[in-house]
Chains A and B, each alone.
Chain A
C-alpha cells in the first residue's frame, strides 16, 4: 500500500510541469475568459457584468457573420482540397523508386514552415500585382490582376496556402499506405480489378481511420487559422473584409478596439462551433470509418 502510494506520488511529481502548464496557461485562463465573456471589459478599466449581452450582440454584428462566412469557406474548401492533395501525393510516393526519399522530403518541406510569418510574407510577394504568378501569366500573354488586394480573390490565395501545407497529412497517409498488405492487391489483380478499382475498393477503405484522424485535426486547425490572414492583410482582414478570419476579427475586437468581453464571448462560440463539427464527424464516423 505504502509503495503504491509512493509510486503515485512520484507519478504526480513527474506530471507537475505539465499540470502547471495545464492550470496556469490553459484551464485557469479559459475559466477567466468564460467569466469575461459575460462582462463589458475594455482591458483598461474593471469589467462590469452584462449577462449574455455579448452573445446576443454577435447575431446582429454583420462583420461577425461575415467573418464566420469567410472562415467556413476557408475550412470547407481548404481542408478537403488539402487532404485530397496529400492523399494523391502519398499514393504517388508510395512505391520505392530511385531518389523517392528526396522527393518525399522536398514535398514535406512546406508544412515545416507551417503557417509561419515568413511564408505569409512570401505569399504576398507571389500573388501581388508584379508577383511570380503574374510574371508566369505574362509569359502566356495573360494580364494578371492583383490577387491579394482584390476582394474576389484574396481568400482564394489563402486557401491555396492552406492546401500547400499538405506535408503532415501526406506523411501520415504514406505511413499507413505502407501498412496495407500487398497480398490484397495481388488477389485483386488476379480477380481482374484495375488500378482505379483497387484504389477505391482496397486503399481508400483501409485508409479511412487516417482520413478520419486528418480531417479532425485539420478542421480544428483551420477554424483557428490566424497568421496568414493577419500578415497578408496587414492585420486589417481586408480588402473589404474578404480575409477577415474568425480569429482575426476576435483579435481586432479584443486588442484593437478594447472590447475584450466581446472577444472572449467570440472565443467561446468558436469553441462550440469546433466542438459541434468535431462531434458531427465522430458521430458519422461509424458509417464510413473501417477498422479491420
Chain B
C-alpha cells in the first residue's frame, strides 16, 4: 500500500513537472501585446509604423501598440507615464535624458538579454555599447549613429557670390564669422534679403565649442564640463555678429526654434545654412529639390581642434515588466537594431546603422542624398578624439538655464558676462540639489 502511494506520488510529480515544461514552451507563443513609443515627425512615424508591422509579421504572436509624439511632448508624456507605472515597454531614449531615467531605476538592464542571445550586439562597436551603459548597467541600445553638420545651400551662395569650403575641408569659427559678414554685405548689394546663418541656438552646437576648447557639457562626476569663459566666448561670438547685422535679429532667431522644417529659415531662403544632425540631410534635400545642398564640417578652433562626437538614436526597455513582456520587448529591441526588415524601411533616418552588417546591407538601397550623409559620417569619424560625457541627473533643468542665458544675451537684457555668471550660479545649485 505504502509503495503504491509513493509510486502514485512520483507519477503525479512527473506529470505536473511535464505540464510545467509544456506550459513554459507555450508561453513563448502565447499572444502578448507590447507598447512602443518614439518621437519624430510624420515621415518617421510612417517608417516606424511599417517597421512594427514587419516585426508583427515575423513574430505573429506579438502585437505592438504604438504611441507617437513630437520631441518636446514625448518627454513630458514619458515622465508622466513612468510616474504612473505605465511606461511604454520599449521607448526611444536620448543621452540628454537617459540619466534622469536610468539614474532612478526605471530602465531595465539589458545585459541578461544580451547574455541569453536574444539581443545580438556582436556587430555593434564596443565604444557604442559603452555609450549606452549608465552606472554599469546596459540601459539602452544604439540603433543608428549620426554627427552634427552644417548644411549649406550652394546655389544661394553662388547667387550672392561667396565661396564655401568643399565637403570634408575643415574651417574655423573665425572663417565662419567672416563668411556671415561677407555674405550679408554682398546679398544686400544684390538686393537679396538673406543671411548666411542664423544664430546656432542648440545646446548641442555649444557642445562643439566646449569640446574643441578641451571640455564638454558635463564632467563624468556630474558637474559642468566647460568654463564660464567658454560660455562668454560663445555668447559674445553671436552678439558681435548680430551687432554687425550678419545674422537675423533675436526675435527671428527665437521664433525659428519652434518652426517646422517646411517653415524653417533655411527652407524659406532667409538663411543659407542650418545646423542639423546629418541623418536629417535627405529631408532638407527633399524640401529644396532644385538646390545643391552641401554638408560642411562643424567649425574648429583657430588651431584646428574639432569638437566632433557621435550621437545616436537609442532604445530602452522599461524596468517594470513581467517575463512575457520582457521577452517580447527584447525581441523588438533586437529587431530594431539588427533586422533587415527594420533597416530596409529605416535606411538613414536614424543615422548610420550601429550594426556594421546592416550598414553594408542598406548601402545599395540608398538615394544619393543618403550616400552623401553616410560618406560625411565616415569623414567625421576619424576626427573624433573622445566619446562625449552623458548628461547627469537634472540635465533638463540645465538645458532650460542655457536657453535663459542665450536669450538674455541675444535680447540684450544681460551682457554675455552677466548671463554666463547667472548660468553658472544656477546650474551649480541644480547639481547640488541632485547630488
Complex Cα gap A80–B106 (Å): 48
A235–B72 touching, CB < 8 Å: yes
In the complex, what residue of chain A is closest to B404 when comparing beta carbons? A241
Known contacts A151-B413, A234-B72, A255-B76; 11 further A-B pairs (Cβ under 8 A): A44-B100, A44-B104, A44-B105, A45-B105, A146-B251, A149-B255, A151-B411, A233-B258, A240-B408, A252-B400, A256-B79
Among B80, B100, B394, B413, point to the contact of A240 (Cβ < 8 A).
B413
Q: List 10 A-B contacts (CB under 8 A).
A: A44-B101, A146-B251, A146-B255, A149-B252, A151-B411, A233-B258, A239-B250, A239-B251, A240-B411, A256-B75
Indicate whether A236 reaches chain B with its CB closer than 8 angstroms: yes
A150 at the interface (CB under 8 A from B): yes
Across the interface, A258 reaches (CB within 8 A) one of B251, B254, B396, B404, namely B396
Q: Which residues of A contact B404 (CB under 8 A)?
A: 63, 240-241
User: Known contacts A45-B104, A146-B252: does B407 contact A255 (CB below 8 Å)?
Assistant: no
The answer to the question of B257 belonging to the interface, with a C-beta cut-off of 8 Å to chain A, is: yes
- Measured in the bound complex, the distance between the Cα atoms of B236 and A244 in whole Å is 26
Q: Which residue of A lies closest to B270 (CB)?
A: A129
Identify the A interface with B (CB < 8 A).
42-45, 63, 128-129, 145-146, 148-151, 233-236, 238-241, 252, 255-258, 260
CA distance A24 to B224 in the complex (A): 44
Does the CB pair A129–B252 fall under 8 Å? yes
Q: A44-B101, A149-B254 are in contact. Are A238 and B403 (CB under 8 A)?
A: yes
Residues in chain A near residue B100, CB distance under 8 A: 44, 258
Residues of B within 8 A of A (CB): 72, 75-76, 79-80, 82-83, 100-101, 104-106, 250-252, 254-255, 257-258, 394, 396-397, 400, 403-404, 407-408, 411, 413
Q: Which residues of A contact B413 (CB under 8 A)?
A: 151, 240
Given A234-B72, A256-B396, do A42 and B104 touch, yes or no (CB 8 Å)? yes
- Which of A234, A238, A252, A258 has most chain B Cβ within 10 Å? A258
Chain B residue at minimal CB-CB distance from A255:
B76
Cα A260 to Cα B76 in complex, Å, equals: 12
Alpha-carbon distance A234/B104, docked complex (angstroms) = 28
Interface residues of B, dominant DSSP: helix
Q: Which A residues are in CB contact (< 8 Å) with B257? A: 234
Min distance, Cβ A118 to any Cβ of chain B, angstroms: 17
- A151: which B residues are within 8 A, CB to CB? 407, 411, 413
For B258, list chain A residues within 8 Å (CB).
Answer: 233-234, 236
How far in angstroms is the closest Cβ of chain B from A57?
9
Shortest C-beta distance, B293 to chain A (Å), equals 24
Given B80, B255, B396, B400, which contacts A148 in the complex, CB threshold below 8 Å?
A: B255
Q: Which B residue's beta carbon lies closest to that of A63?
A: B404
Residues of B close to A145: CB separation below 8 A: 251
Distance between Cα atoms of A255 and B403 in the complex (Å) = 18
Max chain A Cβ within 10 angstroms of own Cβ: one of B100, B104, B258, B396: B258
Smallest CB-CB separation from A146: which chain B residue?
A: B251
- Of all chain A residues, which has the CB nearest B105? A45
Q: Pick the contact of B255 from A129, A240, A256 — CB < 8 Å?
A: A129
Q: Are B396 and A238 in contact (CB under 8 A)?
A: no
Least CB distance from A69 to B in Å reads 14
- Find chain B residues with CB under 8 A from A148 CB: 255
Establish whether residues A43 and B72, one from each chain, have CB atoms under 8 Å apart when the complex forms: no
In the complex, residue of chain A having the shortest beta-carbon distance to the beta carbon of B258: A234
User: Which partner residue on chain A sits nearest B413 by CB separation?
Assistant: A240
Task: Tell me, in angstroms, the Cα distance from A239 to B257 when the chains sit together.
Answer: 11
Whole-angstrom distance between the Cβ of B358 and the nearest chain A Cβ:
33
Structural contact, A44 and B83, CB atoms closer than 8 A: yes
A260 CB contacts on chain B under 8 angstroms: 83
Contact A239–B254 (Cβ < 8 Å)? yes
Cα of A242 to Cα of B80 in the assembled complex, Å: 26
Residue of A nearest to B83 (CB): A43
CB distance A238 to B252 under 8 Å? no
